[in-house]
Amino acid sequence: MTPPPLPLAEARRRFLDGDDVSARSVPEPILHSWRRCQGLGLDVGRWRPPSRLAETELAARREENADWLQRARPAIDALFDGVLDDGHVVIVADHGGLILERMGHPDFLDRAERVALAPGMDWREDVRGTNAIGTALVLGAATVRGAEHFLERNRQLSCTAQAIHDAQGHLLGVIDVSGQPRRLHDAHRLQVEAAVRRIEHGLFDRHAARLHELRLAADPALLATPRCGRLGFDDDGVLRAASRAALAALGLDWTALGRLRFAQLCEQSLEHWLSRHGIHVASLRHGGELFSAQLLPVRTGLDPLPREAAHPPPPPTAAAATAMRPEPPRRPAALAGATAVADVGLPAGLLDTARRLLEADIPVLLLGETGVGKERFVQALHAAGSRHRQPLVAVNCAAIPEGLIESELFGYEEGAFTGARRQGSKGRLREADGGVLFLDEIGDMPASLQARLLRVLQERVVQPLGGGAGQRVDVRIVAATHRDLAQEVAAGRFRADLYYRLGHYPLRLPPLRERGDVAQIAAALLAAHGAAPRAITLSPALAAFIRAYPWPGNLRQLDNLLRTLLALVDDGTLLTAEHLPATLRDAAPSAGRDDAVHAALARHGGNASAAARALGISRSTLYRRLGRS
Ligand SMILES: Nc1ncnc2c1ncn2[C@@H]1O[C@H](COP(=O)(O)OP(=O)(O)OP(=O)(O)O)[C@@H](O)[C@H]1O
């Protein structure tokens, strides 16, 4: 008869006494980790923390990881938001187990500090014994509760962590949630998993920007969601990028990169699949398993990888291929294409006008409220132009601290300032050489830099910080802002000469409330988010609401709402106004009144032709809509 499982404390005592402990008493990964720690000679009771890394060295480590950290930021912030009220901390460590960031609930920060769970501290397993950060670096993921920690002093913690890999299997770091034992639940592990999935999805987009992407899922409804497996093939049909979900589903590991050929997986050649035009969906049998597969056309993604990464990450690890269990779709589907509704409802020819300006090397200045889709428009513009095979490099002038934006844009020479990378930095302008530079939120560019930027635009020569010869660059410029730039000029906050240099022919993306076919846009977004295979449709009443609501957050708000609804309802649902959150239902404008038409008419002094033009609809449609309201 098998003996009953022992309480953890007893199992631990026996383990330390050298007795055999079964995996029924201690989870197997923990037991293995204890054995590793014992093998290294770690002492459970006597241990002194290594000293904390000096601030300057920590800053340098953060700088080395800045690229993926910046991309991971929205997911980390959302995770933090989700666990803060439970009294936990979120920790970000690099691939060497060094804590780079810690954000947390004040209740727990003190305790975290006492066990040196703090920025600048090393939490590798071979230094700290079994712990979620260090053990996740070994295994890919780990949850370590209370007395499962190898060192006595860490028993006051419970932690769950998962490693992050890029699409080439490079281990980048770890995300961890830590808290008091008993307060950490399985839901926190799922939250960490979801955050890492989101981060890796974004990293894949970046790596695979110029690859043919094959998506795989057991259920076709998952093909447009972050839960699908993703593989990136080059033009020769060789695998160059992968998601862990795809590798796990196919029983492969990272060594398949550079080796696996498209035809080995899909029977026919990549050319054959490509010849089927556009998005190609088929069934695929591999190792006895049946998958739905979808080949997406090559995307020209925003902000692709610089040709040479400044800090090549370490080689792939075996842990990189940890299996990901297929789970039912809990999250909204990802947008299938960056330009899903780029053209729908925009004033006729806006994209074409922008393209012509850019082709003639005339800067494009995009104006529009927040969330109208300026960034998406730029992606579509880049994809439509002759430079679509060259980089599109984005700089968000509002997101970079004033002190850093100069080096970010213009680059710097070796040793230009304290904390500078040893080999210097190329700067975004030079990264965009041959391609397109997108200056987002240009209205927020510090005044001191406006003059410098103007000089570059005129002379097309970049002078990196710290001296060195000026270098000629060939970039096409697109700038965008939600501010009224003319007003910023009048108020003296934006240089008039730069404004005229950029704004030869400003283009305005209309807010959603002015666009004539919001319901059509909503339908396009639903389709892009995979509503069709789930048989989810929009009721006429909800479409009417969508048309009449003023959408202060524009496309971003509409898109978020639709994604949320899709996540909440079952397959086969007819979406009605009842599904809306109460706050939105209450804010519904008076029934029947077509505010967009009325607003456009008011702005154009009652001139129906001008109002129709602004809305991008015909005059007859305008009258029809007026008649209805
Ligand atoms: N063409 C589009 N197709 C599908 N969704 C879009 C499109 N344009 C915008 N969206 C949705 O709106 C969100 C915001 O878009 P985007 O970032 O391009 O707006 P923006 O005008 O640049 O906003 P901000 O001024 O706040 O930076 C996107 O994340 C997406 O959800």
Segment 559-582 mean pLDDT: 89
Model confidence at 347, in pLDDT bands (50, 70, 90)? Answer: low
Q: Is the CB of 140 under 6 A from ligand 1?
A: no
CA-wise closest residue to 366 among 557, 504, 517, 516: 504
The DSSP bridge partners found for residue 621 are none
Instruction: Dump pLDDT digits (tens) for 512-549.
Output: 888 877 887 888 888 878 887 788 888 877 888 888 88
Q: Is the CB of 510 under 6 A from ligand 1?
A: no
Task: Give the list of residues 6+ apart from residue 554 with CB closer than 8 angstroms, or none.
Answer: 369, 370, 371, 372, 373, 511, 512
Domains of the chain: 8-39 (no CATH), 55-204 (3.30.450.40), 210-298 (3.30.450.20), 350-508 (3.40.50.300), 512-628 (1.10.8.60)
User: Hey, which of 556, 558, 563, 565 would you mutate to test ligand 1's pocket, going by the most ligand atoms within 8 Å of its Cβ?
Assistant: 556
How long is the chain?
629
The predicted pLDDT at position 588 comes to: 57
What does the DSSP 8-state code read for residue 483? S
Model confidence at 423, in pLDDT bands (50, 70, 90)? Answer: low
The DSSP bridge partners found for residue 438 are 394, 478
| Closest C-alpha to ligand 1, atom 24 | 370
User: Hey, which of 555, 557, 561 would you mutate to test ligand 1's pocket, going by the most ligand atoms within 8 Å of its Cβ?
Assistant: 555
The DSSP bridge partners found for residue 293 are 216, 282
Angle CA 569–573–575, to nearest 5: 85
Asked if the model's pLDDT at residue 80 lies above 50, the reply is: yes
Find out whether 229 and 215 touch, Cβ atoms under 8 Å: yes
Q: Is the CB of 368 under 6 A from ligand 1?
A: yes
Tokens of 574: 């007819």
Element (H, E) at 177: strand 171-179
Q: Which of 197-211, 263-277, 418-432, 527-541 tops mean pLDDT?
A: 197-211
How far away, in angstroms, is 67 Cα from ligand 1 center? 22
Angle CA 301–306–311, to nearest 5: 130
Q: What are phi and psi of 245, to 5 degrees?
A: -60, -40
Find out whether 287 and 247 touch, Cβ atoms under 8 Å: no
Q: Is the CB of 193 under 6 A from ligand 1?
A: no
Element (H, E) at 450: helix 447-459
Asked if the model's pLDDT at residue 435 lies above 90, the reply is: yes
Tokens of 96: 């060497």
| Closest C-alpha to ligand 1, atom 9 | 373
